[in-house]
Structure 1
Amino acid sequence: MGGATVGRRCGYSRVSTSDQDWTIQLDALAKAGVDDRDVYREKASGARRGRTELRRVLDLLRQDDQIAVFALDRLARSPLHLLQIVEKIEAKGAKLVSLREQIDTGSAMRRFFITVVGSVAALERDLILARTKAGAALARERGVRFGRPPKLTPALIRQVLLAHDDPETTVPETCRILGISRSSYYAALRSGREEVRAA
């Protein structure tokens, strides 16, 4: 009598902006035993439902296959969208594994955790955006001008860094909220990164 059937192991990796890279995600997937040739890479917002590479890997899944992601927010933005994807994976007889959260869809309890973690991730993104909006509004009340050229204050630099670290917040959206140009956005980003490296 043979052992349990083991299918193909593949990975999915997503970044949102051109200056992000896949290094952290790909390293984690490689350590989890996913061959680099079996990793599907995507540059797209998590809010987009029609992601080509995600659709491709979901279509290719078969019974006993496994799809691994670095984190659940690489796969979906909302808990509802996440569960819809999980249902598609399970309908194929496959399994989803999230490395950062250390959960998979092998049991009902772990599916519950997916919902909880997805809810927390969505709340965190909302809080980041809310803080950015609130910070900009407070700055305007205090007479800070967000025109051209803006002063790269520590508060503005921090707001840009927070927004940039949120993969679902776009550069145009951040510029609109803070009232700054793209060049000012990237200047603040460079300044923030230099401060981090210096620290």
Structure 2
Amino acid sequence: MNKQFGYSRVSTSDQDWALQLAALKQAGVDEADVFKEKASGAKRDRHELRRVLDLLRDGDKLVVYRLDRLARSQLHLLEIVEEIEAKGARLISIHEHIDTSTATGKMLLSILGILAQFERDLLIERTRHGMKVAREQRGVRFGRPAKLNPAIIRQVALAHDDPEITVPEACRSLGLSKSTYYNALRESKINHVNAIAN
């Protein structure tokens, strides 16, 4: 039998909760099937939302008062709707008059998908620009810091030349993995050859 679930999210005001609950009940959702979340829209880990999404089956409905109660961005909303659709369920938003099983609802989802892609592209563009500015103006370096510096290379070379020290002991004492140890050893040999050549 198909079920109808409700989901509501409130930040602080109980008045907002009462408004959402009244709208969900009027839409035919039993109060026992309403999942109430008390969290900000920015928080990604919303346990009640996860619970209701996990319960959805083919033919079920998830009813929300407004789309902004369900997701914090177009991209997040699209991810949620795709999960609902993949289960054969549908989403109904009371305030926006959206039902994902109708032609209009599907059209709005297509527009939402375009907006989500636009939002994704803008985020990537802003991130790249910010990284470029940080690199050029403040000398910020991105990525994992290099483990191989001249001091480490020297220490590895000294440890390697000492017959009393094994590779595992050297790695432990220097805090290096074996691959980093051997990379440093190779680098020290290259430096040694270059020094002789010059």
Report the TM-score when normalising by structure 2.
0.53
Match of 2:68 in 1: 73
Select the structure with the greater relative contact order (CA < 8 A; seq sep ≥ 6).
1
Structure 2: which 5+ runs fail to align? 116-198
Deviations 1:152-187 (A, max 9, x none): xxxxxxxxxxxxxxxxxxxxxxxxxxxxxxxxxxxx
Structure with larger Rg: 2
Deviation at 1:115, TM superposition (A): 6.5
Partners of 1:69 and 1:12 in 2: how far apart?
5
Q: Give the helix-richer structure, 1 or 2.
A: 2
Residues 113 and 67 from structure 1, CA distance in 2 versus in 1: closer, same or farther, beyond 3 angstroms? same
Distance 2:94 2:72 in 1: 17
In structure 2, the residue matched to 1:32 is 27
| 1:60 counterpart = 2:55 | yes
Counterparts of 2:4 and 2:93 in 1: how far apart (Å)?
13
Aligned residue for 1:82? 77
Change (3 A) 1:116 1:34: same
Contact 2:98 2:104 in 1 (8 A): no
Match of 1:181? none
Matched AA of 1:44: A
Change (3 A) 1:109 1:18: closer
Alignment partner of 2:36: what SS? strand
Letter in 2 for 1:100: H
Contact 1:9 1:34 in 2 (8 A): yes
Count of residue pairs the alignment pairs up: 115
Residue matched to 1:103: 98
- Return 5+ residue gaps in structure 1 as ranges: 1-5, 121-199
Conserved? CA contact 1:64–1:94, under 8 Å: yes
State the identity as a percent.
61
TM score, norm. by length of structure 1? 0.53
**What is the CA distance between 1:118 and its match in structure 2?**
9.9
Letter in 2 for 1:16: S
| Structure 2 residue aligned with 1:45 | 40
**RMSD, matched Cα:** 2.4
Instruction: Supply the AA of the counterpart residue of 2:91.
Output: L
Do the aligned residues in 2 keep the contact of 1:71 with 1:101 (CA within 8 Å)? yes
